[in-house]
Chains A and B, each alone.
Chain A
Amino acid sequence: MKKALGALALLTALGACTTGGGTNPVVQAVWQKVKPGARAAAAEAEAEAAARPPIVVTFEKIKATGLAIIRARVGGDTKGVMLYARSANDNYVTYASQLMQTMTLKGSLITASRAIGYDMLALRSDDNDPVALPTPPQDWPERVSRDYRFAGDTPGGRLISVNCKFVKGPGFELALLDKTFDTTIMQGQCSGDGVRFTNIHLVQDDGQILRSVQWIGPDQGMVEIDILEPFTYD
């Protein structure tokens, strides 16, 4: 029986060797790390990267790309990842990183995320949601409702509905890339269906949100985004 216990404890590890046919993905991944020359190549690439001068991103450079760009930070990441607009359907714009992690935004409201840990499938919000529709801080509605959909059983997935109350905070001078901006701190205090969170947005006078910390799920938590170049249909 002790052997049975041990075997079950090892099950997960042993599962790595199970294959439904062909080369196992775990074996593949390990092989890529340990195959002859892999370590030397990785060290060489690392040294090359370290030797390169750091790239300074400016608004001018971003403008020159002609792309809509956001920067996202998840978890303890301090540098952030650039995501570029890849598709636009109606008012929903999907941004993708080089590794094809994607975020879909309606205005500045994150309505979906993919491949960054735990997917948020979709988000419905009220038509007057000021995060989705640029709205000067003084005109923000008192409350909106939102329905988050997450991966789960059945086509609808797991639905979490919240009500969000907006609270206007003090002004805030935001240093972003090579510029500074005068913004107003707006809080969105949301609760419902067993969750409670506070989103924070730094909003310019014309309603454009430049930086935002938003909740994208009970497992994923918060993500911080900078809207470096907003999407337009021009």
Chain B
Amino acid sequence: MSVSFRLIATTALSFSIAPLAMAQDFAPSFGLLGSTGIIDMPSAAMQPDGETSWSFINNGASTGGVLNFQLLPNVEVSTRIITLDDWTGPGLSFPDNTLDLKLRLLQERGNRPAIAIGLRDFLSNGPTSAEYIVATKSIGDNLRVTAGLGWGRLGSYSPILSFGTRPAVDNTLGFGQMFAGDAALFGGVEWRTPIKNLTLKAEYSSDAYSGEQVFGDFERNSPFNFGAEYRLGSRVSLGAYYNYGSEIGFRVSISGNPNRPITPQDLGVGPAPVNVRHPDYNRDVSWAAIPQVRDKMVGLLAEGLKEDGIIVQEGRISGTMLELYIDNTKYSRQPMAVGRLARVLATSSPPSVEVFRITLMSDGLPTTTMEINRADLEAQIDRPNAGPDSFASTGFSSAPNNIPGEGVWVPDAYPKFTWGLGPVIPVNLFNVDSIGEIDLMVRANARYRLSRAFGLNLAVTQKILGNIGEGAGPSLSPIPHVRSDAALYDNSGPVLQRLTADYQFKLTPEIYARVSAGYLERMFGGVDAEILWKPSDQNWGVGANLAYVKQRDFDNIFGFQEYETVTGFASLYWNTGWNDLEAQIDMGRYLAGDWGATFSLSRRFTNGWEVSAYMTLTDVSFADFGDGNFDKGISLRIPLDWTLPFESRSATTVTLAGYGNDGGARLNIANRLYPTIRGNDTTDLYETWGAYWQ
């Protein structure tokens, strides 16, 4: 045999892999608006589930940014923050902040095209509001054809049908405009060229661009648009366009997907191999009668676990049971910490110990206790069905504030000082004069913990660069200036963002409580008390908080102004358990004394990626509220270990939210209870339990 094994193997592999590589799909592409589509026109194609992208766009008549998120496999949402040039007069731009939604009704299958229905700027009847129904069909491997019917802007050129009268654009909240008025046909083609990563596009647009032509130089000479898209790897795409017979446009998009980490996720150190206890092992429990032995065993165990990022806060061992309250400071998914800990316990505990009770803690709060039978663990380890079997055999319960009873080992850990340093990137979207304001700041946190429950917290920021609030004039808001005087706060040097004494504890195994006092946030200080009922085996919870606060001084770091108020909310939290979606409603009295509700929806992936959006409606009128009409925002949280090949619980968060609006303003409390404990309930543990044996 002259041919080498490696060659045989390589040849065989080539044959087996090649057909799969050839069958690579014609990936859906972004249009000039930063969402999935042709150029200006939408298509029924969808991005991969969870795909998140940020696009910078310019079409000659508007400029802006778009955050596009594949919320569910068949639901795409986009928020566009664009400036419409020469909209309200020559040289006068209009900031348009919109939320778009596209729902795929049918996937492409056989001869059937994909069909989607979409709403552009669906929360307000603004200048870019439009609705459409669209169908997209692939023809062969490299051609995609789209045709659709549009309303609003997408029905403004050569309409073929009319569905009543569409209300005039007034940029206010409402749904009366949907699918009303003229409707027009649009369509286009996308061709994947033989040149790798290059796609060419052409479309017939049903957008008349009427508004853009009133005051400016913009001319729409043709309904035909043409474009070319080039992908640089899987995360960057560039688009260049010749549109309307008159304008050049371009787009730059950066994408990420929680399901496609940048680096391999499972590098480093594997879990401890476990051997089943031999039946002949001595299971005598007489050693457990000596308290010093018990304490020594738990103490040594705690010391050893520190190296793996597991901090034992309380522990107790008896002849047959080992109980631990732990902080997981390393693993992004809690079951991974629990599984690795269980393996260590199985290899290091006396053979007589039959039960491990592991309680996950979060910021000093015990959350869920998992009871693991050692014999079950031994029967499951390495076996094919270990994942489902281990979840089924683990008992879950709400943890009390402390391990009940006598003989509990507690480390000599307090007082304890910890610190951290990181960037903060606030972004202001909703400023009529200047969109896309952004700051880059460094934030230093320090904590002096006097006990597990009580600590002093300090946060100081230093602005590095940015333009948020620059050029802001005096606030003309007719309601109390709880946020609109933001530009008056001195940020020339280090800023004291927080200096609080915080006490958090559990009243019962299912009820959490917190009291915070001091300088709660940049603009307010006072006292805030919160309570949360959230059994660990329940996917919803109810909470309430009440605060008495005074407005802080503009330049005196410790001083206060005259304004004081009582603010408080009742909150409902619901982890739907469906596609990682979570919902939250907060109803109550806001800082300016206005009453209303905040609705939040987020998708939190099991690896920690989270995209969330909120909107607040209060009894403050749109006119009194100012820019944006009502408070709304989006935040994106990217876990550090998505980008790096080792475990970490750190993350970066970018919040795109309103700035300087008084209506719907809430206290920025850093340690609210639900976000602190939500990752440890049974619903979350079920979702992430796949990591238990990793």
Contact = CB atoms under 8 A, between A and B. Distances in A.
Interface of A: 1-5, 7-9, 11-12, 14-22, 24-26, 86-90, 92, 94, 96, 99-102, 104, 111-112, 114-119, 121-124, 147, 149, 151-158, 169-174, 185, 187, 189, 195-198, 200, 202, 211, 213, 219, 222, 224
Contact of A174 (B5, B20, B388, B640): B5
Contact of B262 (A12, A152, A169): A12
A126 B254 CA distance: 45
Nearest to A100: B269
Interface string B668-694: 000000000000000000111111111
Secondary structure call for the B interface: mixed
Contacts of A119: 266, 694
Contact of A156 (B252, B427, B466, B690): B690
Interface in B250-271: 252, 254, 262, 264-271
Interface residues of B, number: 83
Interface in B371-386: 378, 381-386
Contact of B391 (A18, A96, A155, A198): A155
B287 interface: no
Contacts of A173: 1
A118 B266 contact: yes
B266 A16 contact: no
A11 B254 CA distance: 11
Contact of B270 (A21, A101, A158, A222): A101
B606 interface: yes
B640 A92 contact: no
Given A117-B264, A121-B694, A99 B650 contact: no
Given A16-B640, A17-B423, A200-B12, A149 B273 contact: no
Contact of A211 (B5, B382, B648, B688): B5
A14 B425 contact: yes
Nearest to B386: A122
A25 B422 CA distance: 13
Contact of A92 (B382, B420, B435, B436): B382
A218 B1 CA distance: 31
Interface string B11-28: 011011101100000000
A96 B264 contact: no
Contacts of A92: 382-383
Given A1-B435, A89-B274, A157-B690, A18 B378 contact: no
B646 interface: yes
Given A121-B693, A200-B12, A171 B436 contact: no
B689 A15 contact: no
B643 to A, nearest CB: 5
Contacts of A2: 56, 436
Contact of B266 (A18, A88, A114): A114
A108 B4 CA distance: 21
Nearest to A148: B384
- The 6 A-B pairs with the shortest beta carbon distances in the complex, nearest first, are A1-B436, A114-B270, A124-B384, A87-B273, A15-B652, A92-B382
13 contacts: A1-B435, A4-B427, A7-B438, A7-B654, A18-B423, A21-B445, A87-B275, A112-B382, A122-B385, A122-B386, A153-B580, A198-B13, A219-B264
A158 B691 CA distance: 11
Contacts of B276: 89
B285 interface: no
Nearest to B434: A1
B650 A18 contact: yes
Contact of B467 (A3, A152, A174): A3
B649 interface: yes
A213 B10 CA distance: 10
Given A1-B436, A92-B382, A21 B266 contact: no
Tell which of B1, B646, B690 has the most Cβ of chain A within 10 Å.
B690
B264 A19 contact: no
Nearest to A29: B646
Contacts of A25: 640, 644, 646, 648, 650
A115 B647 CA distance: 11
Given A5-B252, A189-B16, A198-B15, A15 B65 contact: no
A185 B268 CA distance: 34
Contacts of B1: 170-173
A121 B436 contact: no
B445 A86 contact: no
Contacts of B391: 155
B5 A202 contact: yes
A172 B1 CA distance: 6
Contacts of A153: 580, 606, 687-688, 690
Contacts of A19: 420-422, 650
Nearest to A13: B643
Contacts of A185: 5, 8
A18 B651 contact: yes
Nearest to B446: A21
Tell which of A123, A124, A153, A173 has the most Cβ of chain B within 10 Å.
A153
B692 A122 contact: no
Interface string B105-116: 000000000000
